[in-house]
Amino acid sequence: MRLKYKIAVLPGDGIGVEIVPEAVKALEAISLRFGHQFEFTEALVGGAAYDAVGHPLPEETLALCKSSDAVLLGAIGGPQYDELPVSLRPEIGALLPLRKELALFANLRPCMLFPGLLQASTIKEEVIKGVDIMVIRELTGGLYFGNKSREKTPQGGQIATDVLSYSTHEIERIVRLAYEVAGKRRKQLCSVDKANVLESSRLWRETVSAMEKEYPDIKTTHMYVDNCSMQLIRDPRQFDVIVTENMFGDILTDEASMLTGSIGMLPSASIGGDVGLYEPSHGSAPDIAGQNIANPLATILSAAMLLRYSFNLDQEAELIEKAVTRALEEGCRTSDLLACSDPSGQPVKVLGTREMGDIIAQKIMQL
């Protein structure tokens, strides 16, 4: 096992600059406890980079990511950048190229209900108790990366086009990865598409069907995306691993986050290339930025995924997850989790971003 790891730290915009330091705190506690050396190098990305140097993904930032062992990202974007030329907007100019350049074709988003948060969800307890779903979203293809264009019509209107295409190769590699993940879990894979309407989905379904026989121990099912969005709320425990294309995965994971109580609980790992990127599934939340009220747990849990998927440090990852579980059980809450009363009857402790980060770091040292 190596002892020294280089981590690129990109806080980005909005609450990104508040939550990322809390995940770094958790990683520092891990390094103290286990004797690993994590070398953190911070760089600009998103609107913050645009403001400082005129581009949301400066070359130095990309070079740093490529030469690191893993990337920890906060969030990017904000209303002040919405009017920039499309190629300079944080999403199109930084996040998507970063995913593409690092060849991160697989985005893993685990939707797990922490027992302490049973009452935080807007959905009934008996429906969500025990939910544990891994959504695997294709991340470098589909509508996000297809050609985009605008044309003027003779009538003075416009036509806007986004191309949705998938190759057999793109489908096979994400589905293979999903089968491997399912093999280590409850061995059920649900492939989500819109094959009743879309040609790209028909190729998706044919490709999955052809691969099914290579994985006889895994139960493969197919579901239309509209049905899946309904089933996630009706009976989420029917799902183990979901694999789907880029845009469907984006939408379904925001929906699935509500099973966990808050989108502030949903981490993510983007993998597939040499360097993995770890970020919360939520955005930069400009409305609550700078107030020390954002929930850092999705980012802290993303740091746990970083340890697991990029460094193979399973025990260390589990310790972070255990620290989060324990803090929630003890009634520690950020304000987004306040819909819940504490199940054990203990008073709920409302914490700020930094205070939640401190508690997690403390627990990592003590548990």
From the CB of residue 103, how many other CB atoms can be counted at a distance below 10 Å? 15
Strand order in the sheet with 37-42: 37-42, 4-12, 70-75, 276-278, 269-271, 106-112, 132-138, 241-244, 188-193, 219-224
Among 8, 45, 71, 95, binds ligand IPM (CB under 6 A): 95
Looking at the annotation, which residues are catalytic? 144, 194, 226, 250, 254
Question: How deeply is 343 buried, as exposed, middle or buried, from its count of CB atoms within 10 A (0-12, 13-18, 19+)?
Answer: middle
Cβ 250 to ligand IPM shortest distance, Å: 4
Q: Choose the contact partner of 240 out of ligand IPM, Mg ion, none; CB within 5 to 8 A by kind.
A: none
Q: Choose the contact partner of 334 out of Mg ion, ligand IPM, none; CB within 5 to 8 A by kind.
A: none
Whether residue 302 contacts residue 325, with contact meaning beta carbons closer than 8 Å, is answered with: no
Whether residue 261 contacts residue 112, with contact meaning beta carbons closer than 8 Å, is answered with: no
| Binding track over 282-311 against ligand IPM, x by CB under 6 A | -x----------------------------
Residue list 248-267, contact with Mg ion (CB under 5 A): 250
For residue 222, give the DSSP letter. E
- Closer by beta carbon to ligand IPM, 58 or else 283: 283
> How far apart, in Å, are the Cα atoms of 265 and each of 107, 143, 167, 225, 295?
16, 27, 33, 23, 8
Whether residue 78 contacts residue 91, with contact meaning beta carbons closer than 8 Å, is answered with: no
**Residue 245 interacting with Mg ion (CB under 5 A):** no
**Residue 255 interacting with ligand IPM (CB under 6 A):** no
Cβ 279 to ligand IPM shortest distance, Å: 7
| Binding track over 56-85 against ligand IPM, x by CB under 6 A | ---------------------x--------
**Residue 9 interacting with ligand IPM (CB under 6 A):** no
d(CA 47, CA 118): 36
**Residue 13 interacting with ligand IPM (CB under 6 A):** no
**Residue 212 interacting with Mg ion (CB under 5 A):** no
Q: Which residues bind Mg ion (CB under 5 A)?
A: 250
